[in-house]
């Protein structure tokens, strides 16, 4: 399958030279005027964060299985997509969709290890079945997991029962590969949420949105990707990137540059989290 994951099918993917243009045209910042991810149903913000998610400060690669399993969530998932870190400020959360892919995901893991950054990997069920060993490497490095559906279908008009079956199958496939490892997040393919948030929440997965996507599916070149992230990042933003679904070598190279550049500008890396 060679599909890409542009997460905003109603938006043209043209390049625009200025950030304001990009935001106006929804090309890079894929949230709507209400601040929710495009396509997300309206709803109240979730309650105070559970604190169940491990803090992002821990360096990657040192977490044990016990740490990964962690305590049970202190509060249930809600149907409101999380698109920010807990603390806000000059923090940013990196999330990677459509993997695992043997080459690019492994290269990305090496980059994240080297820079000691922990991320969220939104797993495509078919790819989990194809590359289970890469999922184990993701978990071994202490990253968090999200379900991203079994086959990367557009679920926007699916009934809850069909969504539930797909999400449960995806989680079962993940559980076969990494038994007992939680999947605290769900991200809908293409950001076409439909009724997936309520179903995911009922299954204990928090919908995971984003505040910045940079078109790494195009792909526009490593320099351009770095520029788009550096210009588009906002305090507490969840950033959407891709490690699978196509050649993501530019993304990997860009992340290797973005992390030190952001840190040099005073940013730090965190995990997504609910907040009041």
Burial class (CB in 10 A: 0-12, 13-18, 19+), 126: middle
Could you report how far apart the first and last alpha carbons of the chain are, in Å?
39
Catalytic-labelled residue, pool 97, 104, 166, 243: 97
By beta carbon distance, the residue nearest Zn ion is 5
Closest by CA position to 269, among listed 131, 87, 45: 87
- Which CB sits closer to Zn ion, 49 or 184? 184
**Three-point CA angle 96, 99, 103, nearest 5°:** 105
Q: Which residue in the list 131, 216, 242, 243 is annotated as catalytic? A: 242
Query: How near is the Cβ of 95 to Zn ion at its closest, in Å?
Result: 10
Nearer to Zn ion, 6 or 257 (CB): 6
242 is catalytic: yes
Query: Least distance in Å: CB of 116 to Zn ion?
Result: 26
Could you tell me the smallest distance in angstroms from the CB atom of residue 157 to Zn ion? Answer: 18
Distances (CA, A) of 114 to 104, 117, 137: 15, 8, 15
Q: Which is nearer to Zn ion, 86 or 241 (CB)?
A: 241
3-state secondary structure of 121: strand
Cβ 34 to Zn ion shortest distance, Å: 23
Cβ contact 37:209 at 8 Å: yes
Known catalytic membership, residue 97: yes
The owner of tokens 């995911």 is 200
Site for Zn ion, rule CB under 5 A: 5, 97-98, 189
Q: By C-beta, is 154 or 231 nearer to Zn ion?
A: 154
Active-site positions read: 97, 242
């Amino acid at each position: 399958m060679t599909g890409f994951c542009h997460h905003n099918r109603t938006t043209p993917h043209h390049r625009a030279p200025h950030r304001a243009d990009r935001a106006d045209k929804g090309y890079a910042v894929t949230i709507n005027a209400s601040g929710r991810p495009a396509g997300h149903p309206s709803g109240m913000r979730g309650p105070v964060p559970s604190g169940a998610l491990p803090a992002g400060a821990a360096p990657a690669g040192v977490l044990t299985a016990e740490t990964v399993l962690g305590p049970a969530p202190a509060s249930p998932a809600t149907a409101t997509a999380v698109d920010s870190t807990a603390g806000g400020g000059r923090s940013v959360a990196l999330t990677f969709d459509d993997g695992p892919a043997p080459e690019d995901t492994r290269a990305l893991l090496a980059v994240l290890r080297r820079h000691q950054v922990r991320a969220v990997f939104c797993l495509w069920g078919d790819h989990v079945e194809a590359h289970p060993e890469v999922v184990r490497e993701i978990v071994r490095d202490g990253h968090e997991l999200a379900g991203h559906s079994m086959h990367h279908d557009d679920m926007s008009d699916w009934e809850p029962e069909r969504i539930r079956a797909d999400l449960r199958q995806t989680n079962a496939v993940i559980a076969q590969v990494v038994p007992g490892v939680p999947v605290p997040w769900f991200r809908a393919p293409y950001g076409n949420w439909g009724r997936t948030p309520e179903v995911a929440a009922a299954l204990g997965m928090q919908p995971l949105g984003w505040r910045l996507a940079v078109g790494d599916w195009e792909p526009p070149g490593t320099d351009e990707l770095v520029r788009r992230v550096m210009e588009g990042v906002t305090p507490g933003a969840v950033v959407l990137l891709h490690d699978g679904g196509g050649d993501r070598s530019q993304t990997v190279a860009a992340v290797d540059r973005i992390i030190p550049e952001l840190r040099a500008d005073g940013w730090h890396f965190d995990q997504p989290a609910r907040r009041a």
